[in-house]
Chain A
Amino acid sequence: MTSARAVSLVAKREFVAKVRTRSFLIGTAVIIAVLAGYVVLQSVLFDDQQRSVVGLSGQATQLADPLKEKAGAFGIELETRDVTTAGDAEQQVRDGSLDALVTGAPPALKMIVKDSGDQMLTTALNDVLRQQVLIAQLAESGTTPQEVAQSLAGVSVDVTALEPVDPQRGQRLAIGLIVAALLYYSLLVYGTMVAQGVVEEKSSRVVEILLATLRPWQLLLGKVIGLGAVGLLQLVVISTVGLGLSSAFDVVDVSTLGGAALLTGVLWYLLGFFLYATVFAAAASLVSRQEELQSVLTPISMTIIVAFVAGINLMIGSPSGTTVTVLSLLPPFAPILMPGRMALGVAPAWQVLLAVVLALLAIAAITWLGGKVYANAVLRTGARVKLREALRL
């Protein structure tokens, strides 16, 4: 029998045994429900943005009525405020109590917004402005229609963004966080599953029969591939449903952002899983009972949890900061942080490539070392095997 057949038999058993369990089906359903809830919430928040508050200052206050009317035609519920006397109008834009501030006299109107101007609002304002100009020019007789048209074409509102950003930033951040969270969940859950599988074989002693016909590395690899495939299946199902929902609710631009995020997610899941699963398996092979498992798994789980919690906070703060950049290159943290940064669009290609290469090197080293620990420890039942002994043999 070839090694490939041996490994695939083991992998198939692991896959089928796990996919059939209730916990897999329920777990997947719960995650999808949570994701659906998030998507619905997002779309409600988006709807909320269709209400705008605009501050008008000086001569611009004359525009209040036509502007409201025009905005109504665009489906925007508009509230105008006279802020001529308010000295902190700009500050109000910054802190969000005003969505926009319009100053100046027609035709030289200025609109000030916080980050990005609402497209509808801008258009509405432009239309009102053109109308005003048209009316004024027609009032002065002796102008030709061509001149009117020309004047009209030359006017538009001058938008000044105080903190200009990528218009898709919100979506990107959301996707980055979701990808990181899914990877965090998958690595932790499926890594633990590999560990439990190893201990189950050890505590039920079936490993003795298995190893009379399989080499330890074949059993280990088969298990990692089989359970890794279950995790991948879950990840893909969740992502596809998530993307479907998002596009149905118009939350995310699926074609560009979503597809790319799914691909990077899968790539990093594979890298992360092979990296962590072997470590989980080797650690698990040191103990003989499920009750002892927690103690050896804690350091590994902690690494993943720290990578996630610290990484997420840093990423929201400054995704291109030195700390996040360095961490996202290091193999233990890369599988969670790098896909997040990639989704945010702040990871240059060379960094991604470097992280992938480092991860592959780490996988090679860990597989060799973990395989050795596993092979030495998996048949030794009874007391917990010391890591040093397992490495020395």
Chain B
Amino acid sequence: MPEGVLEVDRISKRYGEVVALRDMSFDVRAGELFGFVGSNGAGKTTAMRIALGVLAADSGEVRWNGRTVDLDTRRRIGYMPEERGLYPRMKVLDQLVYLAELHGMGTNEAHTSAENWIARLGLRDRRADEVQRLSLGNQQRVQLAAALVHEPDVLVLDEPFSGLDPVAVDVMSQVLREKASSGVPVVFSSHQLDLVERLCDRVGIVSAGAMVASGTVDELRSGGTPRLVVESPTTDWAATLGGVRVIEKNGTRCVLELADGVDDQAVLHAALAAGPVHEFSRQRPSLTELFRNVVTTESRSA
């Protein structure tokens, strides 16, 4: 039986004619930060809402530790919905205590935990204010506290970074990392790909309701056709090599794409034979480029 694993197994969902999810599968393991990326309307929010049971899937299931998620296990999930939701006229502290209790904590424990997260997220002076009097960013911090206050076993956060200032982004990143290293699987969606790249252990790219690529950032970046960046006075030699294509040329710098099975050492030799080589490196696509690739190929084939 898998321990501490959240598995999403071939879930599908349609809204009338619109197919929001098509057999989407992925899993998030204990201690892992999983980044969920995809263009607008790809189905990220739909998948998360299904995992939380606020939306019913047409087929497929979500499992926690090998068992189908039910209300009792769901109570152990911390959730931050895409459209933030708190009682506007309830005070910050009362709100967090209430949510902690609803998730099964005793009253004392709930108070301690609420105070703790309020302090942790820099909300101490606002603890007795009504939520509607807080700035949007601070409301977001309360929302994060609401997801964390019952010390959940799993975290599912829909775009937790949107609308945060850089300091809050750092606080949020740190909290998520810390949660993950304490053994909690953390999934979050985001459109800030540099942040996802920096923070996540694994990334899943969603397109048109299906998971089209997933793996560690390194795995994803090293996948696909290898590219080399070479800087040397002439680049005519490249054309003479079989299986090498010049895809970009900028003065004395060029980017080469190698066909399957072409040895990069052979390329280096050929370059040195033609003249001095000032730079020779493997080009790894950034997550943004990968994302663009994946999304455009998908939409072309769709």
Contact = CB atoms under 8 A, between A and B. Distances in A.
Contacts of B55: 379
A207 B85 contact: yes
Contacts of A17: 87, 89-90
A205 interface: yes
Contacts of B90: 17
Nearest to B75: A213
B205 interface: no
B53 A205 contact: no
Interface stretch (B94-102, B116-124, B175-183): B94-102
Interface residues of B, number: 26
A205 B85 contact: yes
Interface string B81-114: 1011111111000000011011110000000000
A202 to B, nearest CB: 9
A209 B79 contact: yes
A297 interface: no
Contacts of B49: 208
B74 A213 contact: yes
Contacts of B200: none
B217 interface: no
B53 A209 contact: no
Given A211-B54, A213-B74, A204 B102 contact: no
Given A1-B104, A6-B102, A379-B54, A209 B85 contact: yes
B138 to A, nearest CB: 16
Interface string A212-232: 111100000000000000000
B83 A210 contact: no
A205 B102 contact: no
B146 interface: yes
B71 interface: yes
A63 interface: no
A204 B139 CA distance: 12
Contact of A212 (B54, B84, B86, B98): B54
Contact of B87 (A204, A212, A213): A204
A208 B102 contact: no
Interface in A1-24: 1, 6, 9-10, 13, 17
Nearest to B147: A209
A381 B45 CA distance: 14
Contacts of B101: 9
B85 A213 contact: no
Interface centre among B53, B85, B86, B89 (most CB of A within 10 A): B85
Contacts of A206: 85-87
A208 B104 contact: no
Interface string A96-107: 000000000000
A211 B77 CA distance: 12
B79 A204 contact: no
B52 interface: yes
Nearest to B72: A1
A201 B90 CA distance: 12
Contacts of B83: 205, 208, 381
Contacts of A6: 102
Contact of A204 (B52, B74, B86, B99): B86
Given A1-B104, A6-B102, A212 B85 contact: no
Nearest to B52: A212
A208 B54 contact: yes
Nearest to B102: A213
B13 to A, nearest CB: 14
Interface residues of A, number: 22
A215 B84 CA distance: 20
Contacts of A201: 87
Contacts of A214: 102
Given A208-B81, A212-B79, A9 B98 contact: yes
Nearest to A6: B102
Given A6-B102, A9-B101, A379-B55, A209 B75 contact: no
Nearest to B101: A9
Contacts of A381: 83
B88 A204 contact: yes
A310 B85 CA distance: 43
Contacts of B98: 9, 13
Interface in A100-143: none
Interface string B51-84: 0111100000000000000010011010101011
Contact of A1 (B53, B75, B79, B84): B75
Nearest to B83: A205
Contacts of B99: 209
A22 to B, nearest CB: 12
Given A212-B54, A379-B54, A205 B74 contact: no
Nearest to A379: B54
Given A6-B102, A17-B90, A208 B85 contact: yes
Nearest to B86: A206
Nearest to B107: A9
A213 B83 CA distance: 17
Contact of B74 (A200, A207, A212, A379): A212
A207 B102 CA distance: 13
A1 B76 CA distance: 11
Interface in A186-214: 200-201, 204-214
A385 B88 CA distance: 24
Nearest to B143: A209
A206 B99 CA distance: 11
B17 to A, nearest CB: 16
Contacts of B77: 212
Which 10 residue pairs spanning A and B have beta carbons closest together? A205-B85, A206-B85, A212-B52, A1-B104, A208-B81, A205-B83, A213-B75, A212-B79, A213-B102, A211-B54
10 contacts: A1-B104, A17-B90, A200-B88, A204-B86, A205-B83, A208-B52, A209-B85, A211-B54, A212-B53, A213-B75
Interface of B: 49, 52-55, 71, 74-75, 77, 79, 81, 83-90, 98-99, 101-104, 146
